[in-house]
Structure 1
């Protein structure tokens, strides 16, 4: 048994060591000027997928449901098989649009809609809070187990853990404003945690199997004697088939859409080729950390540990055997599994809430607009609020659920992003109306079929709602909606949420005809895997350079200074001008101005999200009458080049043109990119035709050579036949010699 102060000191020292590692990595990157590009670091950082749910909860799940726990990992492995298509496309889209979060990703696809971004953020926030609470519960419960302290003054150990995690989250992930800058120090620290939790779990597994027992075969034979065969059964629980399908669906979506997973796999990706390494290394990690789940569950039950404590057999078994060092190592492993998830998730949620909920409110209230320069401090407050709410949930609800049940509640919430994300990536017809309707419908059904029963079981609402339905309408029973009975509540919710979400998404997309700017953005979004020229230098133009550069630089710097520090704003504007090769010029052309504003939006999107950045430029950037006129002319010229009808051009141009003129920039850029994409595709087609022509030439050449060879052989054969014929004729015509006469 350890004293509480000793455990707390160990945890603090461990986290400080991780922070030092992160700082050393970032200092090295700053000193060398080269980012850390390691496919192994990228692949191992993805192990943030394995939280305390895996470290503790899988053993508890296996003790009651046998091999059903594998469903969570089977779905993830299936998702990994498609990474080179799906994840690579997500990374390409992130690089093209400077995406900062899953909410930014979805809203960018659907007209940069702040309404959709806000709804996605709300779903993620409400849905993920129970998952963060799960990690807090794991930390608190494991602390009580190894210290045997559950009374005052340690009954508020969860509050202490919340305070420490708040500090660590700010230290590791929210120390700067731009979330698309690489958090490579944090990622390396995350990799260290991933290695620690894997080694700790394997160490406990080896100790239990080969020290406490005489190997896995010994455990298996004792299982048979103790009538615990359900631990090795695929159908140990009721409705096993439907639960297998449910878990596979949830984990397939989770490996892509969980906010922490999206951040690590998409936002932090520095090289798309790293995905190839992750596609084999991460599955190996997943297999390794699950090797001893069933043996540990079996060992705990065979050792007489209470089944209710199965979630923490990983700690209780070495503790029962008297191995204090291994018990502490297991605690650190579980702590690593929990804190890795908490830090990444809380950082991501704080970014989403600040960009898509707080900032739009600030922008809409004139008296609150000075707060824009305090976005970083706002995120610190949001981190504290998110963790405080998670702590409240842990105190109020966690006693009613095992770890896995809490995790599944969150997984179903995140599943609601699936139709909008995958439909948006692969279905051109999907649009903002369908996405918003689907998300709203799915979230409402999730609240009704999963969240509402949670409050009812907690005693906050009348239990008759569950048994009889609201107003005693049996068809409206939350866990048997429309008479669908006999399913696990999670399976029941997955079925109805997906049905309503997908149905409304498809129906809304088919009914609503999106505006042209959304159609153009959709085309650019869908073509992310076939990027056009990514060179950020200004395109050549024959237009006059009459626009004063200094005026535009000051305008851009004033805009950035509303969200960034003055030094950062000045540096960003200078970098943009340098990249465009206009630094030092007195005047620039309209196309160079368009490129300048596009890059300005790109930079600002890294701080406040793509949707908010687009809105900020629309409200701030002003164009003169001549600039607006040239933008219109350029737009019409490009549309003509794309083969659009003149009538449609004029209508769209007038409709899209905002009072300040910025409304056309996105369309201009998209149309230029589309035109370049068309040229590239035509070049590819031409290259393919040339390749076919060359192949045909080679084929004809080979045919000619073969024909000449056959012709020559025929000639040679004829000559040989002629020679043989002449010889035979000569032999017949030659008279017998005199010596042969008798």
Structure 2
């Protein structure tokens, strides 16, 4: 129907159109910065990146074999969305305070900016999600083969894979990793993403209407034909064994995925411009989910009723219009599936490149003196990571084409990011959660996930002996990967979700209860939790302490630090901007609190480039206070804390950590802000009391005047009465 070269041309033109949309939006914002405010509709539609080729193609294949069970992948997500005003709003508030760059940065920031936790989350995401990217590339390649009737190998087959990968690398770098600061919103990229989300919805609904009302006479006709053909399972809620447990499993996986998938976190949290947009997304995204799944069963049924093999059900969306001779609709379906795949690829690759460079590569560079010079090329390093991730995904897809591992990878990836849930939600809602518990939970959950899901996958791939799956290692039946501790009869994904969550949650709780975090972690925990509920934005505020610290030396120190990671001119500009914001630019000397706030804002800027955990580590290792500065800061902090009586009473030795604990300074500023609010309220109360007192004084004065007037009148009347009595007595005589 289509020649390979014509399809490649259509792909190139479509991506060119996306480039144009992104470029137009970027230019408009560059020329008119005040327009850089996102629409709630744009925000809501961008969240539909949740729907990948696994939705566009895989839902139909799922329905053809398992009936309505595919809805579990979206039912749990909708339940998760219902809680967004509580959960997502808090996550966005934390992002605004700490300049969060990714889900790894978010979780590690909650747990004392732990580099180990950030690295663990990044590794889990990398191992669990990169094969999912391969699944998207494989979907593009397979759909290309179908509409061109070309073999699954050869020069043209390889060409489309490499072409798409190269275009995805270019698009991701130009609009996603063009600048070092990943907290800066990418409105051009989001605009292109929204366009893709609209295209894939229109394409899927068009195929659904075609299958339902052109090939058949509506939903009723399809249901009746399914019954006559003994295909009732396509529209059944219980088409498989243990369907009840599978429904629960899918609800759990999709509930967590709407929060934990790196691409979802980036679009929902990092790209959010206004938390009020959540309200729009809370009804737009579920509506989108309903619309894109409305015709899944009719398309699956139409393919089966027309005699297509169930093994091809994943591509009924393409095969139905193709076999009916509708070339235009076939091309639209191909572009819709292409949009579903590329949207996921771009956002996920950008997010993973940020996580890998910040939490895996950069810590290694910091520990090897000979490699520290690479820090100045961090942006180029991130471009390299983007290319490596996508080329690796392409090679993975090529190596494992038409094998078990790519068929199963969708749910396997969901189960991988499920391991973030205890640390993520525990960090938001449970104050006792700490770094040891989070690290133990993440590590143990990942090990169980790997052993119970990936190892059986590798065995079915032929990499290991089946004896491990049947008898267990060393013939220990209790350690069989798909029947841990004797739990048999469950679907592999259900079994893995159950044990990984039981062990993950148990280790998180036990580790948090037995470990007592240090003062730095407690302070950061308090600051993290308070940022989720505070309605005030933190502000720089000079104090009345003696100004004795030379500003010029501190500015040079900050410039040298920032220039290790960003361009020297930009570093100089950022430091001078901070000095202007603090209103100290024209001062020769500054106070101790101004200095600490200066360092905090430097860390804030650095966090946007290398992540909060790495930025905090760089500040701690580079910035130093002299003895007088340490003594002044310790004394000031101790005095304020004791006066406000809002923190725990601790030994004086605890406060010795104050000069190097930036969390304490944040806590101090919060306490001072609260004190100012209290003084303002008391001032209003005093003014009200003074008004009442003035009114009362006026009333008393008026009463006194009236009283004196009455006394005068009484005296006058008494005199007149006496005169009358005297006159009357004189007349009687």
Q: Do they superpose with TM above 0.5?
A: yes
The 2-side partners of 1:443 and 1:57 are apart by: 26
Mind listing any 5+ residue stretches in structure 1 that lack a counterpart?
Answer: 692-742
Name the structure 1 match of 2:4.
4
| Cα deviation, residue 642, structure 1 | 4.3
Match of 1:220 among 220, 223, 236: 223
Distance 1:60 1:682, change over 3 A: farther
2:650 pairs with 1:664:
no
SS at match of 1:15: helix
Deviation at 1:404, TM superposition (A): 6.3
Structure 1 match to 2:720? none
Where in structure 2 are the equivalents of 1:478-489 lying within 5 Å?
478-489=481-492
Mapping of 1:424-573 within 5 angstroms? Answer: 424-531=427-534, 533-539=536-542, 541-573=543-575
Q: Which moved more, 1:208-217 or 1:497-506?
A: 208-217
- The alignment status of 1:21 with 2:21, answered yes or no, reads yes
Q: Distance in 2 between matches of 1:415 and 1:582?
A: 47
Q: Could you report, residue by residue, the CA deviation over 1:635-679 in whole angstroms, capped at 9, with x for unpaired residues? A: 21233134379982421123x26xxx5x23332222332554577
Report the equivalent of 1:253.
256
Task: Give the deviation of 1:383 after TM superposition.
Answer: 1.0
2:156 alignment partner in structure 1 = 154
Asked whether the 8 Å contact 2:523–2:663 carries over to 1, the reply is: no
Structure 1 position 535, deviation (Å): 4.7
1:171 offset after TM fit, Å?
Answer: 2.1
The question of 1:192 aligning with 2:189 is answered no
584 and 678 in structure 1: CA distance in 2 versus 1, 3 angstrom threshold: closer
CA gap of 1:206–1:532, structure 2 versus 1, over 3 A, is closer
Query: 2:72 matched to which residue of 1?
Result: 71
The Cα of 1:585 is off from its aligned counterpart by: 1.9
Structure 1 Cα separation of the partners of residues 608 and 648 of structure 2: 37
Give the number of aligned pairs: 684
Range with bigger deviation, 308-317 or 220-229: 220-229
1:32 equivalenced with 2:32 (yes/no): yes
1:624 Cα deviation after fit:
2.4
- Residue-by-residue CA offset, 1:45-72 (whole Å, 9 max, x unaligned): 0000000011000000000000000001
2:341 pairs with 1:341: no
Matches within 5 A, 1:321-470: 321-401=324-404, 405-470=408-473
Counterpart Cα distance in 2 of 1:108 and 1:226? 57
Asked if the contact 2:469–2:480 (Cα under 8 Å) also holds between the matched residues in 1, the reply is yes
Q: Distance in 2 between matches of 1:221 and 1:90?
A: 48
SS of equivalent to 1:89: helix
Q: Distance in 1 between matches of 2:326 and 2:319?
A: 10
Q: What is the rounded CA distance, in whole Å, between the counterparts of 1:687 and 1:6 in structure 2?
A: 75
> Within the alignment, does 1:618 sit opposite 2:620 as a pair?
yes
Instruction: Quote the Cα distance in structure 1 between the aligned partners of 2:86 and 2:536.
Output: 21
Instruction: Compute the RMSD of aligned alpha carbons.
Output: 2.1
User: Which residue does the alignment assign to 2:711?
Assistant: none
What residue number does 1:673 align with? Answer: 670
Give the aligned partner of residue 650 of structure 1.
652
* Alignment TM-score, normalising by the size of structure 2: 0.90
Please say if residues 131 and 410 of structure 1, whose CA atoms lie closer than 8 Å, have aligned partners that are also in contact. yes
1:52–1:680 CA distance, 2 compared to 1 (3 A): farther
Residue 481 of structure 1: CA displacement?
0.6
Distance across 2 between alignment mates of 1:366 and 1:135: 39
Contact kept? 1:560, 1:569, Cα under 8 Å? yes
Per-residue deviation at 1:8? 1.2
Unpaired runs of 5+ residues, structure 2, are: 689-733
Deviation at 1:685, TM superposition (A): 12
| Secondary structure of residue in 1 paired with 2:145 | helix
After TM superposition, the structure 1 stretch with the greater mean CA deviation from structure 2, 586-595 or 120-129, is 586-595
1:264 maps to what in 2?
267
Q: CA deviation at 1:37?
A: 2.2
Using the size of structure 1 for normalisation, the TM-score is 0.89
Deviations for 1:174-193, whole angstroms, at most 9, x for unmatched residues?
11110001101111110000
8 Å CA contact 1:29, 1:36 repeated in 2: no
Deviations 1:327-348 (A, max 9, x none): 1111111011000001100110
Contact 2:141/2:157 (<8 A) preserved: no
CA distance in structure 2 between the partners assigned to 1:365 and 1:560 by the alignment: 19
Q: Deviations over 1:282-337 (max 9, x none)?
A: 11111100000000000000111111010010001000111111111111110110
CA distance in structure 1 between the partners assigned to 2:576 and 2:342 by the alignment: 39
Within 1, Cα distance between the matches of 2:93 and 2:77?
21
